[in-house]
Amino acid sequence: MDVKKKDIRALTKDQLRVFFRENGDKPFRGNQVYEWLWSKGAHSFDDMTNISKVTRQMLEENFVINHIRVDQMQRSTDGTIKNAVRLHDGLIVESVLIPTPTRTTACVSSQVGCSLDCKFCATARLKRMRNLNADEIYDQVMAIDKESKLYHNRPLSNIVFMGMGEPLMNYNNVIKAIDKITSTEGLGMSPKRITLSTSGVPKMIKKMADDEVKFKLAVSLHSAIDDVRTSIMPFNQTFPLSDLQESLEYWYKKTNSRITYEYVVWNGINDRQEDIDALVRFCSYVPCKVNLIEYNPIDDDEFQQASTKAIDNYITTLEARRIVVNVRRSRGKDIDAACGQLANKS
Ligand code: SAH
């Protein structure tokens, strides 16, 4: 990459219009180029067929397009697709397409590696290398939308920020990407179809509430007892459950939007009655539902999926308290595409 050249997608539409005006062209040219860059997903200036050759050359001399490249695509027997995505600097992240009879969901990454250290997650072992730019997040979504149309004959219907990374540690870029995805230049998707999943960064949950975001919030809870949660998600020491609770109450007051708690039940870790009781209590603070996620082993004996009996205990107790609970089966396990398995293995 030529270091002197600027990433053209860092420019807003207005900045592009100004660039063309200052270079003796019509500002309207900026709109055309912007459309190529965002709606049409151009990977090179040569793709821009309604722009003159001279202008394309001029752009080439001044700018680069740091588009992502899908380096490898794996398809699971259940229809799930995993993309290994190469970024302009050679780093790799993964994103996943999850088809069900009624929807196609893109699971996208927000960081290369992860800032957090959840003991049960494969991505945590990669450490955080850098945040993704807004366009790198946007590109993952567009690539999956294309695959969805190609392999499942329908556009993408939902997006979850449950790939690699902690989205609230890269808040500005995630928000910029969501703005673009929901705009008419992007997919024009309703923000209600987008879910941001966080391990729970209280300050940022409050910031989202203040910003009046319209997408949905999921929190990876896994335990409602501080000691237990800290032992499996060590950052809970810094952001204890009382702070998390307070931020979720704030979120609900401002947004009126129900929260989803993601929860894995492990043998000997959170399968006791007191773990269930603590979860029931935590669920009483704000309107919510619980997704019990199947554990996807990551070559570690420390964690084992709890017995069916333990999970049934959770379900019966929660339902008796009128708390909505869903059991989420994993998808794409044969290609390491399930929750917590994204680790650039191949
Ligand atoms: N950092 C964000 C988003 C990425 S993780 C977050 O923590 O929410 C996406 C989901 O997968 C989280 O709920 C996470 O707790 C869960 N997860 C991580 N490792 C897992 C594993 N091995 N098996 C099942 N779920 C896992």
Per-residue pLDDT tens digits of the chain, which is 346 residues long:
445 789 999 899 999 999 999 999 999 999 999 999 988 889 999 999 999 999 999 999 999 999 999 999 999 999 999 999 999 999 999 999 999 999 999 999 999 999 899 999 988 888 778 999 999 999 999 999 999 999 999 999 999 999 999 999 999 999 999 999 999 888 899 999 999 999 999 999 999 999 999 999 999 999 999 999 999 999 999 999 999 999 999 999 999 999 999 999 999 999 999 999 999 999 999 999 999 999 988 877 789 999 999 999 999 999 999 999 999 877 787 888 777 777 766 5
Tell me if 340 CB under 6 Å of ligand 1. yes
Tell me if 296 CB under 6 Å of ligand 1. yes
**pLDDT at residue number 44:** 94
**pLDDT at residue number 299:** 75
Residue 49 Cα, ligand 1 centroid: separation in angstroms? 43
Report the predicted TM-score, pTM, of the whole model to 2 decimal places: 0.92
**pLDDT at residue number 3:** 56
Tell me if 200 CB under 6 Å of ligand 1. no
Q: Whose CA is nearest to atom 18 of ligand 1?
A: 340
**pLDDT at residue number 345:** 67
Contact status, residue 262 vs residue 291, Cβ threshold 8 Å: yes
β-partners of residue 73 are: 83
**What secondary structure does DSSP assign to 117-165, as a single string?**
--TT-SGGGG---EEPPHHHHHHHHHHHHHHHHHHHSS---EEEE-SSS
d(CA 91, CA 191): 29
Instruction: Give the torsion sign (CA, 117, 120, 124, 125).
Output: positive
Q: 175 vs 6, 16, 127, 141, 242, CA distance in Å?
A: 22, 21, 23, 14, 26
**pLDDT at residue number 298:** 83
Tell me if 162 CB under 6 Å of ligand 1. yes
Residue 340 Cα, ligand 1 centroid: separation in angstroms? 5
User: Closest ligand 1 atom, CA of 161?
Assistant: 3
**pLDDT at residue number 4:** 76
**pLDDT at residue number 346:** 58
**pLDDT at residue number 39:** 85
d(CA 68, CA 49): 21
